Amino acid sequence: MSLNPNYVGWAMFVACEAHLFLGHADQAIAACERAAPIEPNRTVQLYLAAAYANHGDTGKAAAALQLAMQKVSVRTIAQLRERRWSEDPEFLKLAEMHLYPGLMKAGMPER
């Protein structure tokens, strides 16, 4: 952020992902909300939906998921798993703990 203080989208996206995968829903929401309007990576909206759901805000989670579905091509948790964003076992474990359950709570079907 210090290299380009006028653009914080990517840094906030990374913070969003990190906090979500560590189970810090409050911090994930704050970072994702900041990143969502300015970061072109459409995954941020999925992360925001999961963070809201993990925090217990199902209304905001459903709205964020609906917006994400307009921007991303995946429609199910199974499709997300197939994308294999990472081969790192720790990443995959954390996704199973925090991302996928959050998205299911937000309304994304398993299959």
Residue showing tokens 């309304």: 107
pTM of the shown model? 0.92
Domains of the chain, residue spans: 9-106
The token duo for 6 is 């006028």
Helices (H) and strands (E) in the chain, counts: 7, 0
Cα–Cα distances in Å, from 19 out to 3, 25, 26, 64?
Answer: 22, 7, 8, 17
Per-residue confidence in pLDDT tens, the chain, 111 aa = 666 667 788 899 999 999 999 999 999 999 999 999 998 888 999 999 999 999 999 999 999 999 999 988 889 999 999 987 889 999 999 999 999 999 999 999 999
DSSP three-state, residue 82: helix
